[in-house]
Structure 1
Amino acid sequence: MTHFRNDMENHDFFDTNIVCSIVIYEWANELSIIDFKHIFDWISQLVGTAPDSIQLAESEAKYKSYKWKYFEKNNVINRREWDLIAYHWFRNIETKSGIRVYCVASTRSFRRLGIYIDEAAVVDVIGVMKQISRTIIEKVEPIYGYGAMQSYLDGPLEYARGINVTTYYSHENIFSQADVDTRERISAFGSEFRKNKRRLNEKLRDVEVINYISAGHLAGIVDGMTLEDWIISGNRGTLNKEGEATWVWRIPDEHERSQIRTDLIRSGLLVVTI
């Protein structure tokens, strides 16, 4: 089924649009860049169109960009031992900027898998993200990650890397800045992460709408109980085992997430303690 909205024009992509994200930091399966390419190819088929650009890197600082047809025809993926691959569907083809859909996987430097889809890019973005989530659980077996819905203005890609988008003036003349506590948590995570103090097989980065967690997290202690028992006994969102190594903890209520964050900070189960 084709989900991509080819009738969308550049002016349909506002900076206030919601971007749905799935970001995985730790996974159980041994996956190469070519394995991630296969997953991104499947996402291309799911949304119904090839990406506008492919980015490859041997390190985070040395990107090479290719048009899709050249990338496929010349077997670029097998030329080198790449550390990063990204599929990019532009918001604005003329300026080659912004994201409609963006998929990125890095296997060494700042290891992560990220899928980002603007709400205007596809028909039924929630349904598409659910399909992607099921496939990622099956193919990747997340140990830790999150799912979120964030404004394009707030910089979902930067958030995943622990980089603050503190000020931003859009063409709509909107100023955006996260609250002080959120900015401090983002910066603290980025600092910890770049020092390779990940610990994400046992601790959460933060408390998100969707949290992909595993046995190491569920064994953590909160108020004298395991995290698993604490979640279930207090009706703190919903917890379901959805993969061989993966549990999905969903907490849709923002107020509930705020209280859970406070409790997990107190119990030492978050990577940052702000």
Structure 2
Amino acid sequence: MNELSAHYTDPRLAALYDVQNPWGPDSEFYLALAGKPAQAILDIGCGTGMMAAAFARQGHDVTAVDPAAAVLDIARSRPHGHLVRWVHGLVSDVQGHFDLAVMTGHAFQVLLDDETSLAFFQAVKQRLVPGGRFAFETRNPDAQAWKQWAGQSMSGPSTGAAGTAHVDVEKRGELVSFRSIYRFEDGTETSSHSTLRFASQAAISALAAKAGFSWQTWYGDWDYQPVRPDSRELILVAGFD
């Protein structure tokens, strides 16, 4: 698994997260998946807590876990944050059992090999009640999103920084590493290094099955379309009886 990126551990970068990753169709997908009536939900890699707080606002019993203290500080202070149990740590640190577990924001891609991913699937399954579901998304490697990252700029006041660029993009097998540079309006600059795994649908499906998830439903977009070769997303909802 990755060491934590500075994007999540540096308070100044963590403060940019919601602006760069606003509520969107992915959020609506997960909120609809939870549905009604109230369920016990585990939000894994919850980040700044936008999804967890939305679940709680809908009346669900929510536990949210993240290894980065800086994003949890933001999560605790957001509206409806007091309704969520925040856990600083990993899935293995979470107590209880849940009807639904989610992992949003492409966080699954920080699991960099089969051994780590299998152990993660097993840990999630252990915390689900029989009939429980686990849902997450990962970028489809066939769409080759990393080719668009080199030199990508998100300059403008909406980012909270004077400029942001991704450099040193390098692909080795399934792993893509890159560095994000943030230049602030006060003239200061900081950077964050990330490595992500672009695992295939077949590889992920096999790991989920090996961990004991007996059924899987895959989507290629947030409008429930099936996976196609040009789908940007691989969205999995998995469960067991």
More strand by share: 2
Tell me the TM-score normalised to structure 1 length: 0.27
